[in-house]
Structure formats: C-alpha cells, structure tokens
Amino acid sequence: MDQVLNGAINHYNGAFSTAYSRIANLEAEVTHLQRELTRLPKGNIASKTKVLEPLTFARSKNKIHLYGWLSQIALYCLVSGITANDQKIICALTHLYVPTVTLLENFLQKSSIG
C-alpha cells in the first residue's frame, strides 16, 4: 500500500512540477508581451497610414467603376477616422462630379448637421 501511495505522490509531484514550470514560462511570456506592447506606437495605427484622397466620380454606366469608387471612399473614411454615417456621406458627396452643391444642401437640410 505504501508503494502505491508513494507512486501516486511521485506522479502528482511530477505533474505539479511540470505545471509550475509551464506557469512560470507563461508568466515570462506575458511579461515579454507587455514590454512589447509599450513599444507600439500610441494612438490609432490607421491614422498613421497614408491613403490617397479618392478620385472624383463622374457618371458611369459600369457598376464596377461605382463599386471601386465606393471602396476608395470607404477606405479613405476608415483611415481618416471618419466614422459617423453623415460624415461619410458628406465625404462621398464632395467627391462627386455632379451638382454636388444641390445634393449637399438637400442632405444637410434633412440631417441634424445643417
């Protein structure tokens, strides 16, 4: 009976030793990652990314051109920190080659901005 108990104790001691070793390794990794985090640039990383301003969109019957332009607007808004939908709409309207003054005036009258 003593041999069985000693065997169990030795087994659990080995398991605990392995667990403690793994915990120590994880704690060291957490400490390392915390140091690395302090080295990252502060603020929004997207704000440090440069994206060209979207081209002005003129009429096109090709939907692919429209979707490409909308993708440019979305990317520009994301990188520029434009998050509110009304601000995104204004950004898009300022990049249209149509009577945007009329479109913009109508939008501003209907929104809470104007």
- The pLDDT value recorded for residue 75 is 92
Contact 96, 55 (CB under 8 A): no
**How many C-beta atoms lie closer than 10 Å to residue 32's C-beta?**
10
User: Percent of the chain having pLDDT more than 90?
Assistant: 7
Any idea where the domains of the chain sit in the sequence? 1-40, 45-110
Question: Buried b vs exposed e over 45-67: b needs ≥16 C-beta within 10 Å?
Answer: eeeeeeeeebeebeeeeeeeeee
- Looking at every residue in the chain, the average pLDDT score rounds to 79
Give residue-wise pLDDT tens across range 47-77: 567 788 888 887 777 778 888 889 999 999 9
Q: Are 73 and 95 in contact (CB under 8 A)?
A: yes
Give the residue-averaged pLDDT of 85-107: 76
Mean pLDDT of 25-45: 78
Confidence at residue 72, expressed as pLDDT on a 0 to 100 scale: 92
Q: What are the strands, taking DSSP E only, across the chain?
A: none
Mean pLDDT over residues 77-94, rounded? 88
* pLDDT score at 33: 84
Q: What is the pLDDT of residues 101-114, one digit of tens each?
A: 566 666 677 766 54
